[in-house]
Amino acid sequence: MKKILLSICLISLINFSFAQKSKKGLNISLKSGITFANMYGDGVESNTFLNGSNPDNFYANNPASDVFKNGFNAGLLLDYRFGKYFSLGLGVSYLQKGAKINALKHWNHNTQQYENVGDKIYWCQNFWTLEFPLTIYIPLKKNDIYFQAGLFSGFLLRSEERGSVNMSGNNYKYTNDRYANEEEPGYFLSAGYIYSLPERYGSVFAELSWSKSIMLSAGREMIPDPEYYYNQTISISLGYRYTLFRHK
């Protein structure tokens, strides 16, 4: 009888330990961080010049730039983890894309020559993105290293050129609307580390992510001809993850 009771206790303990270690279930994650964005393609340049005679009509001759600008990102992800090693998810994010524009010269109509420009000019593109990630986990005791790959579809909220320039000792600020794709599909790759808190408190994580659009965008207002480019981002984020329910 004692052996039977002892066996039942051991089996229960094993099952309990397995249940505690099980990571199957539905999770919700919130994250936010900084994004570095630029553009690349045949029409992308590192330097350009500033057109227009006054702030009412200033614009960069070619705003598609391979120089990185920083921005903000924030996201929400629901993912179902099938076990220790895999999960599928559905996420939504706010992502600031675009580029920093180096406009080094400006044509002065009065002197009929170029003058130097001290500039802080950015092509700012703000997107909502819908994401579909597949995640592979490498378990480390209670914690995880993970690698993620997936597709996204971006929906443009705003696209504008913002400049704060200095010419001939004068400071000028301007905003100029710029064309960008209304919808922008692409793919992304991520890697991160999940640190597990006591079970009822969830987990925290750090993530590095890279994304690239796969549909060329044509800048209609670029002079003399439209230039074609892809958007690219590198994001560093911190987040919080909580298990909504867990399967034993």
Per-residue model confidence (pLDDT) at position 225? 65
| Domains of the chain by residue range | 25-246
Give pTM, 2 decimals: 0.84
Average pLDDT, the chain: 86
Distances (CA, A) of 210 to 21, 122, 132, 184, 189: 31, 20, 14, 15, 5
Q: Is the pLDDT of residue 245 over 90?
A: no
Among 12-21, 71-80, 115-124, 130-139, which is the least confidently predicted range?
A: 12-21
Per-residue model confidence (pLDDT) at position 216? 82
Q: Is the pLDDT of residue 73 over 90?
A: yes
Q: Is the pLDDT of residue 71 over 70?
A: yes
**Omega of the bond prior to 198 within 30 degrees of 0, cis?**
no
With a pLDDT cut of 90, the percent of the chain lying above it is 58
Per-residue model confidence (pLDDT) at position 219? 65
Inter-residue contact 176 to 128 (CB < 8 Å): no
**How far apart, in whole angstroms, are the C-alpha atoms of residue 208 and residue 36?**
11
What is 25-246's CATH number?
A: 2.40.160.20
Q: How confident is the model at residue 224 (pLDDT cuts 50, 70, 90)?
A: low
Beta bridge partners of 84: none
Inter-residue contact 144 to 88 (CB < 8 Å): no
Per-residue model confidence (pLDDT) at position 223? 55
